[in-house]
Chains A and B, each alone.
Chain A
Amino acid sequence: MGRKLLLEHINVPGIETYDVYRNHGGYKSVEKALKTMSPQEVVEEVQKSALKGRGGAGFPTGMKWSFLAKPEGVPRYLVCNADESEPGTFKDRFLMEKLPHLMVEGMITSSYALGANTSYIYIRGEYMFVLEILEKAIAEAYAKGWLGKNILGSGYDLDLYVAPGGGAYICGEETALLESLEGKRGNPRMKPPFPAIKGLYGCPTVVNNVESLCTVVPIINIGADEYLKIGTEKSSGTKLISACGNLARPGVYEIELGISVEEFIYGDEWCRGIANGKKIKALIPGGSSVPILPAHLITKTATGEDRFMSYESLSDGGFASGSMLGSGGFIVFDEDQCIVRNTWNFARFYAHESCGQCSPCREGTSWMEKVLHRLETGKGNMRDIDLLAEINKKIEGNTICPLGDAAAWPVAAAIRHFREEFEWHVTHPEEAVKRNYGLLKTPSITL
């Protein structure tokens, strides 16, 4: 059994309630931080742990915290990004639903470190039932004195709110999230200024993913030195992986970073191989926006070395033969799956979710979606494949926020590794249509 830091008590009955959670070591990190550490010491501990942000980009959390501006007389905010909307990613929901008090505890300890007296959890609109679970936990925490004025007699005050989004993927982008939280249309802001300087209501703000903030709890509890012993040199600690697709046992797993991809897919403790005895065809290891890997690059890198579940190993080979750990949305395709259909499906998602501010993303994502839809429905031609490659190169890097890149990468990678399958759709239009499992009825985006 690998070490569990977040999900250690996940199977304890009633762990979502205050008493059970508290009896299993809950809120210890708050006690430790508020009673024995200065805010700066908490920041340093997190910095030392080398925790990388779990929201997708993998930016070191401690470093982000150290960038927070601290002008006199201006409030600072901590905002938890619980907008989790990337296809294939469902780990934050699991955490908040099953361990709401861990989320609350992570918010308190982190807010203390940052000197925030008001903090928000911005939660995806579709997760209304989770919002209710969190609000219940927050009410319990207030009642027990973990929130509110003068927590544990330390003189530190904190108010914590949950704010639901309207159901837009783009509101997961941190500056769009802040706009939305302020009650405006969720369009990403131009950066700089970064939120650490000018964030919510123009004040210095830290935005972190649910899992990142929850992980602060064990880091403070066991200490950064102990935390660093887990995982690999460049990827410390544990990570939640939401595994889905054609797996025998899909689900949310907490892994020690650095276990082999082979073990994670086939191991008894984890996904137990591909469902129905099929063969694996492709893997998207970190949520829909990271490059897809073909079968021969999944358990081995291009140079023939074993591939591991870590930031560095999954990105080995760059975009040519590697991918990214991203948010940990682990999507497995078996031999029967159509890569073109899947690429179209993702393109459709991004076209629908583009905020529409900047021209390359607004026009380019829906253009790609339409071309892919034609290819998938047997109406494409060979030129379309190059056109797609051309369009995504012109979106990538030319947009305000990374959604444009996120939309371009999967298409580029699918063509890079599965070009023959795209060509097959052109040369065998009727068979391509037949292979569609009746999903052809799904229309290209209409208003």
Chain B
Amino acid sequence: MIKVTIDDIEIEVEEGTTIMNAARMIGGDVVPPAMCYYSSLPGTGGKCRTCLVEIAAGSTKDPRPMPKLMVSCSTTVQDGMIVKNRTSEKVIENRGAVVEFLLINHPLDCPVCDQAGECDLQDLGFSHGKEGSRYEEEKRTFEPIDIGENIKLHMNRCILCYRCVHVANQLTDQRVHGALHRGDHTEISTYIEKAVDNDFSGNMIDVCPVGALTDRSARFKSRVWFLKPMNASCECTKCSGKAVVWMFGKQMYRVTTRQDQYGEVEVKDGKPEWICNECRFDKKDLEQWTIEGPRHISRNSVISQGHYEVSKTNLLK
């Protein structure tokens, strides 16, 4: 075990732990925001740069501060390392700049975006953004495309976190999905707009931190904060069958994975509980699910503002 101090709080962690995960063990405000890192998808992280932190001392052995800000999601802690997150002005300033960069080409179309209310970029803009924009140029735009009958891709909203590419790489057996072009005209797409048709491709929607990948079966049906999320399970041979069903009255609007406070899929016994496309897109009937109870959304987004308690029996009446 080694010792690391983050924002004046000391914690002991195992060697090889990243700063991000050490901060998550402490919890609360000490945790840097993550837009691209996703713990259940190895290889993610390092790209969005929102998790930048200052290293005030590298280690006990070499206590020099690091000249550059480091990405907490991909930098491992050293014994005696001193990290500054929200206590560093440099971090706050540069993270603000990253948010500005992420937003300059973003359409800011939250009023018509299905992700609104559970969008990490909205939350990040709220916590670290400025009120105005200094960007006077024309935004780069793309046409939305359907990648298969289930998923809609709005490239305008994408922040190129590459999480969905990792889903395509790691969860599906045939990769037809990746990045095209370079620079700010990089585009997530499928091979010649081919349909992504695979048992687990729907998980891309859940890992997408913004509204770039949305569930076509649930699009434009309801704002998320009007829906009641319930933990539900079903017998499924392909996946864990553990999901959250989003209800409006007795009507089921959508099915998603169960996500923790960082918006990441829950992990049980070391296994991420991804759900298959059949559970996600085809089981929209209450009869197909066993309701376990209301789902508490612990994230700081709008949905958690509408606290509610419904019992299973009430809902089914």
Contact = CB atoms under 8 A, between A and B. Distances in A.
Given A359-B48, A363-B104, A397 B183 contact: no
A357 B188 CA distance: 12
Nearest to B183: A354
A307 interface: no
Contacts of A394: 94, 97-98, 100-101
A303 B181 CA distance: 46
A359 B183 CA distance: 9
B47 A363 contact: no
B48 A358 contact: yes
25 contacts: A168-B182, A185-B178, A190-B46, A190-B74, A351-B183, A352-B183, A354-B183, A354-B184, A356-B181, A356-B183, A356-B186, A359-B50, A359-B159, A359-B160, A362-B101, A362-B186, A363-B184, A366-B183, A394-B97, A394-B98, A398-B52, A398-B94, A398-B98, A400-B46, A447-B181
Interface string A145-164: 00000000000000000000
B130 interface: no
Contacts of B184: 351, 354, 356, 362-363, 365-366
Interface in B133-166: 134-135, 137-138, 140, 159-160, 162
Nearest to A366: B184
Given A190-B74, A367-B104, A397-B69, A185 B179 contact: yes
Interface of A: 168, 170, 185, 190, 351-360, 362-367, 370-371, 374, 387, 394, 397-400, 445, 447
B240 to A, nearest CB: 31
A149 B71 CA distance: 46
Given A359-B160, A367-B104, 4 more contacts: A357-B47, A360-B98, A370-B138, A398-B98
Interface of B (DSSP majority class): loop
3 tightest A-B CB contacts, nearest first: A356-B186, A394-B97, A363-B101
B94 A353 contact: no
A447 B102 CA distance: 19
Nearest to B179: A185
B98 A353 contact: no
B61 interface: no
Contact of B68 (A170, A362, A370, A397): A397
B238 interface: no
B24 interface: no
Nearest to B101: A363
B46 A362 contact: no
Contacts of A366: 140, 183-184
A358 B37 CA distance: 12
Contacts of B67: 397
Nearest to B73: A190
A353 B101 CA distance: 18
Contact of A367 (B74, B137, B185): B137
Interface string B88-110: 00000010011011101100000
Contact of A360 (B49, B140, B162, B181): B49
A50 B216 CA distance: 61
Contacts of A360: 49, 97-98, 101
Contacts of A170: 182
Contacts of B68: 397-398
Nearest to A373: B137
A60 B56 CA distance: 29
Interface string B225-246: 0000000000000000000000
A359 B101 contact: yes
Contacts of B94: 394, 398
B16 to A, nearest CB: 13
Contacts of A370: 137-138
Contact of A359 (B98, B140, B185): B98
